[in-house]
């Protein structure tokens, strides 16, 4: 998961877990992590994950990760939206399949006994 991003023309251009050691003509760039104002002037911003948890893992899954620069907040948002699982069974189908399986297993048990 990225913790830092470089923004140019209001678009996220690069993502990093840690700041690079050197960037353009700046040596020891990674030591600037505590100087947020200077990093913002250079176009570097922290990444904040705003992904919401999945409410039902049977019908939802995570989609592609999106990174959006929010200039008003000087931050990059990371979001993995939830999307429907293709061809996911309904709760009623799951219940009926489970009942059918139990009935079949029970009948087999009786016949084998």
- Position 106 pLDDT exceeds 60: no
Higher confidence at residue 103 or residue 26? Answer: 26
Q: What is the pLDDT of residue 47?
A: 96
Residue pLDDT, tens place only, 2-50 = 899 999 999 999 999 999 999 999 999 999 999 999 999 999 999 999 9
Residue pLDDT, tens place only, 53-91 = 999 887 899 999 999 999 999 999 999 999 988 877 766
Q: What is the mean pLDDT of residues 86-98?
A: 70
105 burial via Cβ count (<10 Å: 0-12, 13-18, 19+): exposed
pTM: 0.71
Rounded CA gap, 113 and 100, in Å?
A: 20
Domain positions in the chain: 4-86
Q: What is the pLDDT of residue 97?
A: 65
Say whether 29 sits in a helix, a strand or coil. helix
Contacts of 92 (CB under 8 A, 6+ apart): none
């Amino acid at each position: 998961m990225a913790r830092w991003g470089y923004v140019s023309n209001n678009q996220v251009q690069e993502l990093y877990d840690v700041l690079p050691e050197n960037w353009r003509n700046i040596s020891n760039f990674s030591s600037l992590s505590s100087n947020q104002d200077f990093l913002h002037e250079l176009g570097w911003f922290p990444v904040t994950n705003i992904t919401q948890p999945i409410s039902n893992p049977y019908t939802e899954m995570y989609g592609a990760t999106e990174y959006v620069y929010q200039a008003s907040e000087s931050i990059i948002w990371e979001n993995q939206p939830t999307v429907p699982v293709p061809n996911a069974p309904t709760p009623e189908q799951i219940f009926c399949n489970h009942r059918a399986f139990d009935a079949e297993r029970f009948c087999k048990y009786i016949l084998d006994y």
